[in-house]
Amino acid sequence: MRAAVVVFPGTNRERDIAIALERATGRRPRMVWHGETALDGIDLVVLPGGFSHGDYLRCGAMAARAPIMPAIRDFAARGGHVLGVCNGFQILVEAGLLPGALLRNAGLRFLSRDCHMRVERADTAFTRHYQRGQTFRAPMAHGDGNYFADPATLDRLEGEGLVALRYATSAGEITDAANPNGSARSIAGVLSPNLRVLGLMPHPEDLVDPLMGGTDGLPLFAGMAEALAA
Partner 1 sequence: MSNKPVGPALAREFGLSADEYERVLAIQGRTPTLTELGIFSVMWSEHCSYKSSRVWLKQLPTTAPWVILGPGENAGVVAIGDGLAAIFKMESHNHPSFIEPYQGAATGVGGILRDVFTMGARPVANLNALRFGSPDDPRTRRIVDGVVRGIGGYGNCVGVPTVGGEVNFHPAYNGNPLVNAMTVGIAPADRIFLSAAAGIGNPVVYVGSKTGRDGIHGATMASAEFGADAQEKRPTVQVGDPFTEKLLIEACLELMATDAIVAIQDMGAAGLTSSSVEMAGKGDVGIELDLDQVPQRETGMSAYEMMLSESQERMLMVLRPDRQDVARAIFKKWELDFAVIGRLTDTGRITIRHRGAEEASIPLDPLAEQAPLYYRPTVETPPQSPLGDVPDPVGIAPALLTLIGCPDLCSRAWVWDQYDSTIGGQTVQRPGGADAAVVRVDRVGEGQALDGHARALALTTDCTPRYCAADPEAGGAQAVAEAWRNLTAVGARPLAITDNMNFGNPEKPEIMGQFAASIRGMAAACRALDFPVVSGNVSLYNETEGRPILPTPAIGGLGVLDDAAASVGLALRPSDSLVLVGETAGWLGQSLWLREVAGREDGPPPPVDLEAERRNGDFVRGQILAGAVRACHDVSDGGLLVAVAEMALGGGVGAELAAAPDGLPAHAWWFGEDQARYVLAVADPGAMLAAATAAGVPARKLGRAGGDGLKLAGGATILIEELRAAHERFFPAWMES
Asked whether position 51 contacts partner 1 by CB under 8 A, the answer is yes
Asked whether position 50 contacts partner 1 by CB under 8 A, the answer is yes
Among the listed residues 14, 94, 120, 205, the single catalytic one is 205
How far is it, in rounded angstroms, from Cα 23 to Cα 20?
Answer: 5
Asked whether position 214 contacts partner 1 by CB under 8 A, the answer is no
How far is it, in rounded angstroms, from Cα 50 to Cα 29?
Answer: 18
In the complex with partner 1, which residue's Cβ is closer, 106 or 122? Answer: 106
Q: Which of 27, 37, 38, 54: binder of partner 1 (CB under 8 A)?
A: 54
Q: Say how many residues touch partner 1, by CB under 8 A.
A: 36
Orientation of helix 14-25 relative to helix 218-227, angle to 10°: 60
Among the listed residues 53, 81, 142, 203, the single catalytic one is 203
List, in sequence order, the alpha helices (H) in 120-202: 151-159
Specify whether 59 is catalytic.
Answer: no
What are phi and psi for residue 26, nearest 5 degrees? 75, 10
Specify whether 14 is catalytic.
Answer: no
Asked whether position 27 contacts partner 1 by CB under 8 A, the answer is no
How far is it, in rounded angstroms, from Cα 156 to Cα 139?
Answer: 28
Binding segment for partner 1 (CB under 8 A), chosen from 16-24, 72-80, 185-193, 221-229, is 16-24
> Within 10 Å of residue 2's Cβ, how many Cβ atoms?
15
Q: Which of 1, 5, 6, 13: binder of partner 1 (CB under 8 A)?
A: 13
SS3 percent helix, strand, coil of the chain, rounded to 5, is: 30, 25, 45
Asked whether position 61 contacts partner 1 by CB under 8 A, the answer is no
> Within 10 Å of residue 74's Cβ, how many Cβ atoms?
12
Which residues here bind partner 1, judged by CB under 8 A?
9-10, 12-13, 15-16, 18-20, 22-23, 33, 49-51, 53-56, 107, 109-113, 139, 141, 143, 203, 205-206, 208-209, 211-213
